Amino acid sequence: MEKIIDWLLTAKPWVRYRTRLDLLDQDPGREEVKNDRKEMLSHPKIKALLTGLKEWPGEKLKRHNDANHLLHKLAFIADIGLKRADKEIAAICEKIFATQSGEGPFRVIVNIPIRFGGSGEDQLTWMLCDTPLIVYSLVKFGFAEDPRVKKAVDYLAGLVQDNGWRCTASPDLGRFRGPGRKDDPCPYANLLMLKLLAELPGYRDSDAAAAGLDSLFTLWERRNERKPYLFGMGTDFRKLKAPFVWYDILHVLDILTRYPGLRDHKCVTELKAILKCKKDENGYFKAESIYRAWRDWDFGQKKVPSPWLTLLAYRCLH
């Protein structure tokens, strides 16, 4: 690991910053950590993401795995460690708060064609395959105790069923739902809710989280038999990819390993075994699939190892 750590500490500032915090467990007040964070905040790529996020809610969400949408850029800057005290974050979050629905979830602009049960017009609304990611980002920024965030969390957690979270959307979308049986859990919505609840001590060990985890484990155990809402856990699922946008092995492992009690769970052990087999002779990891919207980042190509992917992989393995 010493050689791998040395390599990661020569990468971009967000990789160095997260390596120091997540793999080396260094104090945030340490000089090297503060320097890497300062450099991260001033980096042109991060500044470009923040500039785009000032336009929230931005363009309409055409599909939930649109890696270029502000929704996923928001989650990325939350994951690398930006906080509400950082310049521009508070202003961006106030724009998000302005989109809160009466029930609690925060909304994005979507346009659902009439043939799929929508209005065919742009509208601010929410679905369980987008809004948990917004709430997750707000929590990571430091708004967990904000009453607006608490309202959203309580409402979303309350939507859980005995088999996890199903395809659910705002009441203003009527009977619209995704392409699957209504009683099936939606693997992606379930994953995003587990991602959110893992960040909240009061919910991490809740019955809701337990139901979501059981649902995910069942999906893994029956991966050769079922693909609810067209989400499988086969070849494409096993490809390493960043940032965390969709339903894939690294995203699933990153979330499961945030639940301390799952270290020796059969599903986690099996997923880790698959991940370990993907490192090269130097112990590095490279992307096996890419999002073109992120092609200028180290994980946006498949030819050479990616420091960011390598960090994410070892964070799961540790």
CA distances to 73, 76, 150, 293 from 45, rounded to whole Å, are 11, 12, 31, 13
Q: Minimum mean pLDDT among 133-147, 170-184, 256-270, 279-293: which range? A: 170-184
User: Bridge partners of 108?
Assistant: 125
Sorted by where each begins, the domain ranges of the chain are 1-42
Residue 113: per-residue pLDDT = 77
Please compute the mean of the pLDDT values over residues 157-182 and round it to a whole number.
88
CA distances to 100, 101, 153, 262 from 200, rounded to whole Å, are 20, 22, 9, 16
Q: What is the largest CA-CA distance in the chain?
A: 57
Please compute the mean of the pLDDT values over residues 242-250 and round it to a whole number.
97
Distance, CA of 252 to chain centre: 9
Task: Report pLDDT digits (tens) over 195-243.
Answer: 999 999 999 999 999 999 999 999 999 999 888 888 999 999 999 999 9
- Read off the DSSP letter of residue 22: I
Q: What pTM, to 2 d.p., does this model score?
A: 0.96
Task: Report pLDDT digits (tens) over 34-84.
Answer: 999 999 999 999 999 999 999 999 999 988 999 999 999 999 999 999 999
Residue 230: per-residue pLDDT = 80
User: What is the rounded distance in angstroms from the CA atom of residue 140 to the CA atom of residue 304?
Assistant: 31
Share of the chain above pLDDT 90, in %: 87
pLDDT bracket for residue 181 (50, 70, 90): confident
Question: With DSSP H G I counted as helix, E B as strand and the rest as coil, what are the percentages for the chain, rounded to 5?
Answer: 50, 5, 45
pLDDT at position 178 over 80: no
Higher pLDDT, 190 or 229: 190
- With beta carbons less than 8 A apart as the criterion, state whether 15 and 305 touch: no
Residue 225: per-residue pLDDT = 86
Residue 86: per-residue pLDDT = 96
pLDDT bracket for residue 161 (50, 70, 90): very high
